[in-house]
Chain A
Amino acid sequence: MSEHITFVVNGIPRELDVEPRRLLVQALREDLDLTGTHVGCDTSQCGACTVHVDGMAVKSCTMLAVQAEGSEVRTIEGLADGDTLHPLQAAFWEKHGLQCGFCTPGMIMTAADLLARNADPSDDEIRHAIDGNICRCTGYQNIVAAVREAARVIRSGGATVAAQG
């Protein structure tokens, strides 16, 4: 039995017929080809699958696609403005906030949730906010630096960086 869902993904209205047990992350990756959202642990611990649903960071491996009916979903693909990177994307690049990059989409979406509620977070607040996102490469020092830098850029008028190459 399948359910018909209508939702908005990265500003584009989408309709899908999904099995009730289909996870939101599967619908995004497999049905809508939005593979920027990653599946890491698949047990609600690592945060690699973090997306925004109605403006809030959620783990898309722990939400059914049918629960997103009528919602606005934003994935990492919906963050940049055309070729202009979001300040968080630019800051992760500038501050080397990644090594393999697997956790990065989730880290950035969680950080975006934080910055939407707290424009000037302390390092402790940043670390608390990314408690549900795991990086297994480099540790968190540069990730925290990147979030801090993005916050600064956004506060100073949101200057963004044009993507290169």
Chain B
Amino acid sequence: MIPAAFDYQRSATLDDALKAIADGGGTVKLLAGGQSLLPLLKLRLGSADRLVDIGRLGELKGVRRLPDGRLAIGAMTTYSELAASSARHYGVVADALPTIGDVQVRNRGTVGGAVAHADPASDLAACFLALDAEIVARSVRGERTIPVDGFFTGPFSTALATDELITEVRLPGPRDDAGSAYASLEQPASGYAMVGAAVVVFVAGDGSIEGANVALTGVGPHPYRARAVEAALAGSDRSAASLAAAAAHATDGIDVVGDIHAGREYRTAMAAVYTRRAIEAALARLG
């Protein structure tokens, strides 16, 4: 399959890229690793008049520790590079990365590309939601920081303006009282998450659960924070019954997706199961 013809522009600098998407004139799409965009163009599910290639902008690559302890992930960092970086110390990220695509896809697919593409079953999106990440977006107008909760607005839709690109994803610094994990039920052929649950738990000195961030993907129209699960976990004991009762709220208020791979009822049931498993795994990481 061959995509429809498009113009191609390789950006030498971030400023070049920002100008190219600000100028507009037809449909301009940013090309990062291309692992989502190129299949869409080939299948002609999407089209573009011009592709602006930012895949090799060095200034958008790499993972660095900020002075305040936070971790800044350059948007053009590939999944493989992320897995080899200090981001692997976040249990939730270490769990999720090997489930994304396959080796070849992880060698080219980028963190920024995944976030901007906003697949409703994105594994990384759930991780970033549970970690309370921030998205740094830039345009010729300037830079802004967008909390990831609220960034995903619908299937393949985000809070980004058309002239903005993602430069960085920032994760909070590691905490001794936090444990995290990701658990997913994958469609066996495609590997896409039918249900993915990302959990970060915070535990008090006496071992009780102080609070938790819980995010699900593959379940609703976009990855979301499961606030009802979080409320039930805050102050909860760690008994199996309490964790299961909290996880049962995984789809509260969500219009659960049903398709040929997993009907609405099955997906709803599995959302609770995988949320419980992710909570248990996150707690287990704290010992």
CB nearest neighbor in B for A70: B56
Interface residues on A, range: 20 to 34
Q: Which of B14-22, B31-39, B136-144 contacts A (4 or more CB under 8 A)?
A: B31-39
Q: For residue A19, which residues in chain B have a CB less than 8 angstroms away from its CB? A: 5
B38 surroundings in chain A (CB, below 8 A): 44, 62-64
Interface: B157 (CB within 8 A): no
Instruction: Point out the residues of chain B lying under 8 angstroms from A67, CB to CB.
Output: 31, 34, 53, 55
Contact with A131, one of B2, B6, B103 (Cβ below 8 angstroms) = B103
Closest to B51 in A: A20
Contacts of A66 in B (CB 8 A): 8, 10, 53
Do B5 and A44 touch (CB < 8 A)?
no
Residues of chain A lying within 8 A (CB to CB) of residue B101 = 132
Whether the Cβ atoms of B107 and A20 lie closer than 8 Å is: no
Question: Do B42 and A42 have beta carbons less than 8 Å apart?
Answer: yes
Q: Please choose the segment from A51-59, A85-93, A95-103, A146-154 that sits at the chain B interface, where 4 or more of its residues have CB less than 8 A away.
A: A51-59
Is the Cβ of A21 less than 8 Å from the Cβ of B35? no
B80 cross-chain contacts in A, Cβ below 8 A:
56
Minimal Cβ-Cβ distance residue in A for B5:
A21
A132 contact set on B, CB distance < 8 A: 101-105
- A56 vs B39: C-alpha distance in the bound complex, in angstroms? 20
Tell me how far the C-beta of B190 lies from the nearest C-beta in chain A, rounded to whole angstroms: 8
**For the complex, what is the distance from the CA of A56 to the CA of B6, rounded to whole Å?**
27
| B190 proximity list for chain A (CB < 8 A) | 45
The CA-CA distance from A23 to B3 in the complex, in Å, is: 9
Tell whether, in the assembled complex, residue B34 and residue A114 are in contact, meaning their CB atoms are under 8 Å apart: no
A43 lies within 8 A of chain B by Cβ: yes
**Cβ contact within 8 Å between A63 and B102:** no
CB neighbours of A114 from chain B (8 A):
103
Interface string of A98-129 (1 = CB under 8 A from B): 00000000000010011000000000000011
Q: Is B172 an interface residue, CB under 8 A from the partner?
A: no
- Say if the beta carbon of B98 comes within 8 Å of chain A: yes
Query: If A57-B107, A58-B104, A114-B103 touch, does A44 touch B51 (CB 8 Å cutoff)?
Result: no
**Which of the residues B43, B53, B105, B191 comes within 8 Å of A43, measured between beta carbons?**
B43
Q: How far is the CB of B98 from chain A (nearest CB, A)?
A: 7
Contact of B104 with A110 in the complex, beta carbons under 8 Å: yes
B34 touches A64 (CB 8 A): yes
